[in-house]
Structure formats: C-alpha cells, structure tokens
C-alpha cells in the first residue's frame, strides 16, 4: 500500500526521490537496529538531500531526548530500485535541549580571569599588534636583528610591537561600552561629565581624544579609564543643595563638664 509522505522543509534543490521517500518501513527498520522500539515514535517526514538522497526522520520518544529525531539517510543507484542506507543518527530538532556552542578558551577569557603566575601569550598574528620597527631584511640574520634592536632601543622605541589601529579601536569600543562609558548607570544619573572634572587625568596618544583616567580616590572609577562623557556623583564641582547640606550644631548653652569634674568623679 502506498503510504502518504510528508515533505519536511524542502530545500530549493531537494525534491525528494519518490522511491526513496516511500521507503519508510526500511528506514524504521534501520532505526530499530540501533534503538529500542520504545524510543522510536512517529515518522515525521522525508526530506530530499540531493539527487537520489533522502532523509527520513522519526520522533525520538526517549525521556532524556525531548525534541530529538532519529534521522536515516537513504540513497539509490541511478536506475536502481533498491535503497542503500547511508547513515542513521540521532539529531536535535528545533525544540531539542543542546549544549551551547563551544567557544575557544581565548574568546572566553575575561578581565580578572588571570591569576598570579598564569601566562597568556598573544599570537604572532594578533591583529591588535603591529611591529614598532622592522628587524632587518633577513629574518634569520640574528646579527642584523640584534643591531636593529640596539638602534631601536637607543632611539627610545623600546618595544618590539605596539598597538595596531585595530587594537586601538577595539580598546576604545570596549571601554566606551563598559562601566567607564556614558551608558553606565553611574554616568546616566551623574550631575556632570568627566570632561569638566578636576580628577580627570589626561592620557597621551590617539585614545586621549576620548578617554582619561579617574584619579578620585572616593569615586567608584578611581584608577579606571573613563570616557569624557562618563560622569559620577563625586565630580569635583558637585555642590549639595542648601537643604541637603548638614545642619551646623548649635553651641552648648551651659557646659556642665570640665576636667576637674571628671577627676573628682573618680
């Protein structure tokens, strides 16, 4: 008996091969070779993967895999009638619970993760860095490298590499979007901006056009890079409204305590 076949999310080029799409029983048998019958549910449909390649999907009823589907891919030779099994796997559907995508450890590291003694070398091709000076035409000529390094040190260049334009832009973006930027809650309710604050210490280089360092020991941002349009309630020019100022204490009407009274009481 011909069985109705549900076509699953057809891809542009993938019209299911009719003979393979009808091979639902074969596909189920294949699944039952790797799974218990209690773990295999309804046939969810057939999807064309390419020329004479069709994937059948069955609901997975195992309690630990809600939303997962048994997937059986079948193929057949040109002008051949018999189907061949390509693979059978358990795949997550849209509602399946799956582990989050793996992120390389270098992308997971956050400021503050480095402990004393930890080493975090940068890669040779790190886009944030560029050579401060070139070390000679022949990279293998150690004499030339040493000479160039010596001259560079004499000239005060010192460092082998410095921040690239990209590295500077990345730092600026990170700082501006962070707790020292204008969108921080502290800045949004601040009476004035860092740019007019006496505690703002200027830095040098291209980042100095937007950022400085807060040097107010009473401020949350003490020692931190802040953008000029950041701000906080510890701004140097902040004045309390008259009604918020502490009230001066009145003088004593009669001072009943004296040094002699204190001594006599012992």
Residues of the shown chain interacting with ligand SF4 in the complex, contacts defined by CB under 6 A: 194, 197, 199-200, 214, 216, 219, 221, 226, 230-232, 234-235
User: Smallest distance, Å, CB 215 to ligand SF4?
Assistant: 7
Taking the least distance from each CB to ligand SF4, the nearer of 30 and 219 is: 219
Taking the least distance from each CB to ligand SF4, the nearer of 35 and 186 is: 186
The H or E element spanning position 91 is strand 84-92
CA–CA separation, 19 vs 76, rounded Å?
9
Contacts of 33 by beta carbon, 8 Å cutoff, 6+ apart: 88
Measure CA 10 to chain center: 34
Under a CB-based contact definition with an 8 Å cutoff, are residues 162 and 130 in contact? yes
CA–CA separation, 224 vs 228, rounded Å?
12
Under a CB-based contact definition with an 8 Å cutoff, are residues 43 and 58 in contact? yes
Taking the least distance from each CB to ligand SF4, the nearer of 60 and 225 is: 225
Taking the least distance from each CB to ligand SF4, the nearer of 83 and 187 is: 187
């Amino acid at each position: 008996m011909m069985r109705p076949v549900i076509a699953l999310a057809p891809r542009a080029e993938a019209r299911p091969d009719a003979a393979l799409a009808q091979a639902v029983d074969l596909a189920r048998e294949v699944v039952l070779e790797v799974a218990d019958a209690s773990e295999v549910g309804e046939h969810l449909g057939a999807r064309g993967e390419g020329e004479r390649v069709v994937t059948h999907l069955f609901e997975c009823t195992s309690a630990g895999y809600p939303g997962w589907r048994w997937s059986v891919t079948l193929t057949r030779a040109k002008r051949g009638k018999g189907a061949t099994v390509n693979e059978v796997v358990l795949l997550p559907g849209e509602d399946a619970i799956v582990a989050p995508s793996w992120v390389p450890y270098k992308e997971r590291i956050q400021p503050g993760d480095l402990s004393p003694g930890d080493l975090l070398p940068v890669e040779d091709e790190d886009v944030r860095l560029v050579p401060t000076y070139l070390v000679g035409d022949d990279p293998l000529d150690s004499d030339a490298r040493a000479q160039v390094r010596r001259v560079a040190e004499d000239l005060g260049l010192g460092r082998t590499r410095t921040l690239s334009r990209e590295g500077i832009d990345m730092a600026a973006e990170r700082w501006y979007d962070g707790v020292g930027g204008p969108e921080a809650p502290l800045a949004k309710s601040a009476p004035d901006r860092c740019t007019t604050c006496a505690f703002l210490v200027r830095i040098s280089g291209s980042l100095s056009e937007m950022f400085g360092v807060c040097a107010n020991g009473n401020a949350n941002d003490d020692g931190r890079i802040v953008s000029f349009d950041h701000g906080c309630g510890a701004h140097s020019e902040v004045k309390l409204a008259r009604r918020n100022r502490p009230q001066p204490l009145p003088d004593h009407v009669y001072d009943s305590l004296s040094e002699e009274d204190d001594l006599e009481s012992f």
